[in-house]
Chains A and B, each alone.
Chain A
Amino acid sequence: MAALPSYAGPLERFWYYAFRFLCGSIFLFLIAPIIVMIPLSFNAEPYFTFTPEMLAFKSEAFSLRWYQDILDNEQWLHSMKNSFIVGIAATFLATSLGTIAALGLSRGDMPYRTLIMGLLLSPMIVPLIITAAGLFFFYSSLGLAQTYTGLILAHTALGTPFVVITVTATLSGFDRNLIRASSSLGASPQRTFFKVILPLISPGVISGGLFAFVTSFDEVVVALFLAGFEQRTVPRQMWAGIREQISPTILAVATILVGVSILLLATMEILRRRSERLRGLSPN
């Protein structure tokens, strides 16, 4: 879709602009829902819509009251703390388990690779409601329902596929001679892993970890079944907010979460560039 050539006929010209317009509309469809909440979260009135004063850009129509609301509300603060506790613990576990497994899976001599890969990635594919139901019965019988441990283990299982995928992808471009070189110079396998392999695959490991964190941070179905009141995470709290008493506080929380996703997206982009540079794919 480069610039229109000078010899293009009128039909081609029309088609060119129509296509651009169509694509513009689709991009608008993608981004509008995310953008539109941001100004609404600064609404001074408890409405979900733009007041005439807001459209006239009067300063008294905007306020930070819903953000203040979050800070004043014990439940929101508690759920944010929970989300970080569960998310970080699950990310740590998922990243460690997933990275080690990916090391095995990316070796040429891995037996039953397809089957094992299929099993390891299944948490990503199985409908969440089935996962939640299964884990609910299982953890209840073990006494782990409504505990942090149960929720963390469940989120770990859901996060590992992403780590496995990103790390195996990174390892596919990894020069195995470096491992041989390291061993021949007398390094133990552990030392080789920490000094040679890990630094080189770290972009993949970190982005897998980010995926695992987002999975946990955004997960609500399993939390609905497994988390008690004490373990309520942010999505669980939002769920209750949307279902029970929908107030613009939700929009303020949502705006904060959009901020978090922008941060994550930027981190991912930096990692991607770094990994390309490390692999020598890009000139700079």
Chain B
Amino acid sequence: MAAITENDGMMRAADGTPLKQALARATRMNKARAFLLTTPLLAFILVTFILPIGLMLFRSIDTPEVSAAFPKTLAILQEWDGNDLPGEDAYASFASEMQELASDRDTRSMISRAGTRLNYIQSGFRSLMNKTSRRIQRVEEPPFKEAFIKIDKRWGEADTWKTIRQAGSRYSTRAYLNALDLTTSPDGEIVAQPEIKQIYVTLFERTIWVSIGVTVACIALAYPISYLLATLPSGTSNLLMIFVLLPFWTSLLVRTTSWIVLLQTNGVINDILVWIGIVGDDSRIQMIYNMTGTFIAMTHILLPFMVLPLYSVMKTIPRDHMRAARSLGANPMIAFMRIYLPQTVAGVGAGSILVFILAIGYYITPALVGGQDGQLISNIIEYHMKKSLNWGLAAALGGILLAGVLALYWLYNRIVGISNMKLG
């Protein structure tokens, strides 16, 4: 890019364009080239990862079933003041829409799907819908109002119709309310769920507490050994590092299995305790299939994620700092607290966020060794995904969990920089 000076005093590139412009173009080209290199992976991740998760989360607000099945009835119900029962026209349209849907094999399932959606709001609705759709077939003459009430007296209650009107909105935040143990009254006010249904907030709290507990346990266990590893001569420390790296590289299921072997009532640890005589043969300790098992196994699995960042930070702290503090009269305790500890805070922070993020979304270990009371939020998401098939609620619970994780991810990125993550 030879620059020549012309009479106007402007620097020019070989082709005569002003140098500033040529440089800007070259920079732009370089940027485009760098960006182009990342496009294949970026496109791949966007399409096969971020888009599917986005679509899944969309299910949490997508409630098309009732509005798809009964559009005319809903239009009439919109006009209704909600004080008394809806008029005969609402009953008539509801009957005709039900009859029409039930007449065709392809559309019949829409009634039961709408029933399922209504059932999430008011339990008992699914069977009410199924029963009504069967019996209303035989009713051809008005008055439909009396016919409905004869089939089930709930059709004579304003709340039933208000529930249908509520469920008729195309999109709703109901799943998120349910995920936070809230619901709406027939009049649309947000109220707490009946006590027996209040499980999710407790579960979120439990998940957060377990994650905090595991993080603290990891700090407590990782700090001493990281210090040892960072201060030993490199030959010995490389050898000891195997104790950290081998678990890190070992399959998660293998480690969970081995904890089952160790902790179960007829397991190795109980055997040793009985052999020593600490516990009797008939009073073996229950250490697995409960919260204890989840806690111990999770701490073991996540510990390397704390050791590695801590170790790499401690490795950079010169030994002379402690010596200087000691020679200036600080006792070992003060020297540690005021000189060493503050320099390791960054490592502790990085490790903690990483461990916490991994712990809060944990699924496998709680599912295998958690038993009844060791289940975490991921396990209930799986339950709603695969067993109860309440996908909206699963998506809402997942959405809340994901929001929490992404907030921490953002924080991690701010503090450590995601690209500085250490692996092994």
Contacts and interface: CB of A to CB of B under 8 A. Distances in A.
Contacts of B249: 214, 261-262, 264-265, 268
A139 B49 CA distance: 11
Contacts, number: 273
Interface stretch (B66-74, B186-194, B222-230): B222-230
A25 B34 CA distance: 49
Nearest to B232: A1
A34 interface: yes
B423 A157 contact: no
Contact of A130 (B56, B258, B423): B56
A61 interface: no
Given A31-B243, A37-B257, A261-B251, A125 B44 contact: no
Nearest to A208: B423
Given A49-B266, A111-B34, A133-B394, A1 B253 contact: no
Given A36-B258, A105-B38, A109-B34, A118 B401 contact: no
B369 to A, nearest CB: 9
Given A33-B258, A37-B258, A118-B418, A129 B361 contact: yes
Contacts of B406: 125
A32 interface: yes
B221 A36 contact: no
Contacts of A198: none
Interface residues of B, number: 91
Given A109-B34, A138-B56, A119 B50 contact: yes
A270 to B, nearest CB: 13
A121 interface: yes
A37 to B, nearest CB: 5
B240 A220 contact: no
A168 B45 CA distance: 18
A128 B243 CA distance: 26
14 contacts: A19-B224, A33-B247, A34-B247, A107-B34, A110-B34, A122-B49, A128-B361, A129-B361, A153-B48, A160-B41, A207-B424, A217-B251, A251-B257, A254-B254
Interface of A: 1-2, 12, 15, 19-20, 22-23, 26-27, 29-34, 36-37, 40, 47-50, 97-98, 100-101, 103-105, 107, 109-111, 114, 116-123, 125-131, 133-139, 153-154, 156-157, 160, 162, 164-166, 168-169, 207, 211, 214, 217-218, 220-221, 225, 235, 238-239, 242-243, 246, 250-251, 254, 257-258, 261-262, 264-265, 268
Given A2-B231, A107-B37, A220-B252, 13 more contacts: A34-B247, A36-B268, A37-B258, A48-B261, A110-B38, A118-B409, A120-B45, A122-B45, A127-B360, A134-B55, A220-B253, A246-B260, A268-B245
Interface of B: 27, 30-31, 33-38, 40-42, 44-46, 48-57, 59, 221, 224-225, 227-228, 231-233, 240, 242-247, 249-262, 264, 266-268, 271, 300, 303-304, 332, 357, 360-364, 368, 378, 381-382, 385-386, 391, 394-395, 398, 401-402, 405-406, 409, 413, 418-419, 421, 423-424
